[in-house]
Amino acid sequence: MPSAGELTFAAPRRGKPPRHLADLTSAQRRDVVAGLGERPFRADQLSVHYFSHLADDPQQMTDVPQAARELLATSLLPVLLTPVRHLETDNGTTRKTVWRLFDGATVESVLMRYPGRITMCVSSQAGCGMNCPFCATGQAGLTRNMSAGEIVEQVVAGARWLRRGEVAGGPGRVSNVVFMGMGEPLANYAAVIGAVRRLTDPTPDGLGISQRNVTVSTVGLVTAMDKLTREGLHVTLALSLHAPDDKLRDTLVPVNTRWKVAEVLDTARRFFDATGRRVSIEYALIRDINDHAWRADLLGSELNRRGRGWVHVNPIPLNPTPGSRWTASEPGAERRFVERLRAHGIPTTVRDTRGREIDGACGQLATLTP
């Protein structure tokens, strides 16, 4: 155990998380198993246990000989996430979990049960380097990238609780995954794409979640957005725009100083052209900062300039974060903003702000007190 002094002052250790089955394609899993001196089909057995049965105890893997079980489990199913605590609200249908990673870094995930779907909101980095001033995660800075295994494990954990009926509302399945927890997913590209493939590959290679039900949210890293476009994945792209003009967006989403609004919107449009998937524009409504009617009009015309039917807007009432003077827009301003966009013919739906009471809503994930 490190001493208290080390805990407080030591620079974060940034070793690689242990290798996990969920980091690997099924071909790579077989290679690893063969390298351990076991028959390659044992890899497929492990995949069935992990992705189909959601097993977390190697002793349940009774079709694998006892002697091999321990070796395979240690080599491919290490514990990556340890729950630090769970916080629940909405009568138990919203559950935020703080996880400790192998190196002591902490991240959060949020499970949200709705009438027709169950969404896991996952983290892709411990912290975030994008530094958006209205987001609690952005204020803490980046600790490190997460591995594909660490990302997938958040979803598998949720899937296990649901299968066991541990979430209010009875047994269920994770139907949707949103990369809207801590981190900028496109700044951790390879691990995020690996995770998306594991989540969406059919069982037992992966979890079998529909690509359409996976949303990757980005501040607008243009190069990585184009790369995502070329992956041929039918995921939903969400773009955190928050302002239609560069002057304001430069301050709200600092990476805008590198890639401007016009370029980011053109890139989002290319994603739609290639995938046919309607892009989602996220817009946190901040009182008197970005909620003016003229900005709604400017947003509407910037979107329409690039065509019709390719985009919808998701205004998010700003969630409070520690140390910020900013608050959510007045209800009237919010209503006007939405009406103006709709008048431009832009489908617009205000996002519900689940999890506010447990600091589990958009922009509130920070893990200040692990």
Q: Tokens 């489990």 sit at which residue?
A: 73
At closest approach, how far in Å is the CB of 132 from ligand SAH?
Answer: 6
Beta strands in the chain, from DSSP E residues, in sequence order: 82-89, 94-100, 106-113, 118-121, 125-127, 142-145, 176-179, 214-218, 236-240, 279-285, 311-317
Distances (CA, A) of 39 to 28, 50, 195, 365: 13, 18, 26, 43
Toward ligand SAH, which CB reaches closer, 47 or 215?
215
Question: What b/e sequence results for 251-270 when a residue is b if at least 16 CB atoms lie within 10 Å of its CB, and e otherwise?
Answer: bbbbbbeebbbeebbebbbb
Q: How far is CA 143 from CA 106, 252, 294, in A?
A: 9, 21, 38
- Spatial neighbors of 136 by CB under 8 A, at least 6 apart, are 321, 322, 359, 363, 364, 365, 366
**Window 240 to 259, contacts with ligand SAH (CB under 6 A):** 240
Give the active site residue among 121, 128, 135, 362.
362
Residue 111 CB-density burial (10 A; 0-12 exposed, 13-18 middle, 19+ buried)? buried
Binding flag, residue 108, ligand SAH (CB under 6 A): no
Residues in binding contact with ligand SAH, number by CB under 6 A: 18
Contact region with ligand SAH (CB under 6 A), list: 108-116, 140-148, 293-301, 314-322: 314-322
Closest to ligand SAH by CB, 256 vs 321, is 321
Task: State which of residues 75, 319, 329, 348 lies at the interface with ligand SAH (CB under 6 A).
Answer: 319
Of 159 and 219, which has the nearer Cβ to ligand SAH? 219
One character per residue 269-298, x = contact with ligand SAH (rule: CB under 6 A): -------------x-x--------------
Phi, psi of 192 (to 5 degrees): -65, -45
How far apart are CB 180 and ligand SAH at their closest, in Å? 4
Selected binder of ligand SAH within 97, 123, 188, 218 (CB under 6 A): 218
Cα dihedral value 205, 95, 17, 226, nearest 10: 70
Q: Is 201 in the site for ligand SAH (CB under 6 A)?
A: no
Identify whether 88 is a catalytic site residue. Answer: no
Of 130 and 174, which CB lies nearer to ligand SAH in the complex structure?
Answer: 130
Query: Any catalytic annotation for residue 121?
Result: no
Rounded Cα distance, 174 and 170, in Å: 13
- Catalytic member of 38, 88, 108, 153: 108
Smallest distance from ligand SAH to CB 112, Å: 13
| Closer residue to ligand SAH, CB minimum distance, 75 or 123 | 123
Q: Does 134 bind ligand SAH (CB under 6 A)?
A: yes
Residue type, 281: I
Residue 217 as a binder of ligand SAH (CB under 6 A): the answer is: yes
Q: Residue 247: count other Cβ atoms within 10 Å of its Cβ.
A: 9
Q: Based on the shown chain and the rule CB under 6 A, indicate whether residue 316 belongs to the binding site for ligand SAH.
A: yes
Q: Which of 145, 213, 215, 321 binds ligand SAH (CB under 6 A)?
A: 321
Shortest distance in whole angstroms from residue 307 CB to ligand SAH: 22
Task: Enumerate the active-site residues.
Answer: 108, 362
Q: Which residues bind ligand SAH (CB under 6 A)?
A: 130, 132, 134-135, 180, 184, 217-219, 240, 282, 284, 316, 318-319, 321, 362-363
